Amino acid sequence: MIEINGMAHVILTVSQYDEAKDFYGRLMPALGLECVYDGGDLCYFVGGRTALGLQPCDPAYAGERFIQGRVGLHHVCFRARSRDDVDQVEALLEDMNAHIVSPAKEGPWAPGYYYVLCEDPDGIRVEVNFVPGRGVLAEDESFNPADDWKK
């Protein structure tokens, strides 16, 4: 058995590429991710042992919106270092006039779980959360987020 060293990157395929670059171009630096590449068909942010890339969709799918319940990605979640960080992200999202699905609040997924949830221009859900300590690994609590994540 190996022990991985985190998740290297996630690449999002978007139909509104310019709008997505503007959205993530404001959000990612606030999370400590720097745009390290911005070419014609890829924009790539790196920081905090995390990377996020954007690429335009095939022209046949231009104008389509993300559907959370379809096969594939459900949402992307970035881990913050404090509740205050989550609140700062919420303030930035408000300043960006982003669609906030859930304002900053506690969630049932782990002791102390605190998050804000928004949608990017294509409707892809982006969460920023804070979980103190070891989260669900800290205690023998049951962990079954499936019902809540279906929403």
Tell me the fold of 10-61+74-149.
2,3-Dihydroxybiphenyl 1,2-Dioxygenase; domain 1 (3.10.180)
Q: What's the pLDDT at 40? A: 87
d(CA 35, CA 147): 35
Structure confidence by residue, pLDDT tens digits, 4-48: 888 899 999 999 999 999 999 999 999 999 999 999 899 999 999
Percent helix, strand, coil in the chain (nearest 5)? 25, 30, 45
The CA dihedral of 109, 113, 118, 122, to the nearest 10 degrees, is -50
d(CA 15, CA 63): 6
pTM for the model stands at 0.88
Enumerate residues 6+ apart whose C-beta is below 8 A from 144.
Answer: none
